[in-house]
Amino acid sequence: MVPDDVAPAAEPGPVGLDLPWATGTFPPDTVAARRAVWDELMGLALHEATHALATGDVPIGALVVGPDGRLLGLGRNRREEIGDPTAHAEVLALRQAAATLGSWRLEGCTLVVTLEPCAMCAGATTLARVERLVLGAWDPKAGACGSVWDIVRDRRNPHRVEVVGGIRDVECGDLVREFFETQR
C-alpha cells in the first residue's frame, strides 16, 4: 500500500533531444517534406563534421534520429583525437544513440552521415538494426552502401537498410576534398 503523501511514479517521457519535426509523423509523409527534413538533418551533421577539423580528423559528421524524430546520438570522426581506429562518426553516433535508448537495437532509427559509410560503419549500421541511412556524398574509393560494396542492402544479411543518398552531396564532398587538399 502506498501512503497518501507519496506521489505515484511518473511514466518515463520520450528520450532524446526534441527537434522541430519531432511533433508529427517522422519521417514526413510527402517526398518534399522528407527532402526538407533530410536537408536540415544533414546541416546538423555537417556542423558536427566541422568540429573534427580542430583535431586533424577527417571532417565527417553523423547523427541518429529516433522513430519519433528526436535526436538520439551525435558523432564526428575522432580517430586522431583519441587514438581509436574505430572512432568513426557513425560508430560514435550509434553508440550514443544506443546509450540514450538503453538498447543496442536501433529499430526505426535513421542514421544521417555526411559521407557514405565504410565497410565497418555499414556493418555496424546493419547490426544495430537501423531502418534508414541518409548520406551526403558518395565515396567511390571506400563506400560500402552502394559505391564499392553494398553491405547495408546485401540480400544475404538478415536486416537491410533503406538508403537515401546525395543529400547536400556537393557541400559534403567539398568539405572532405578541401581537408585532403590541405594535407598534401
Residues marked active site are found at 90
Q: Write out the three cell numbers for 141.
A: 574509393
Tell me the C-alpha distance between 20 and 50, whole Å: 23
Cα Rg, the chain, nearest whole Å: 18
Number of CB atoms found within 10 A of residue 112's CB = 30
- Strand (E) or helix (H) holding 110: strand 110-115
d(CA 118, CA 168): 19
With beta carbons less than 8 A apart as the criterion, state whether 164 and 139 touch. no
- Can you list the positions of beta strands (E) in 6-58? none
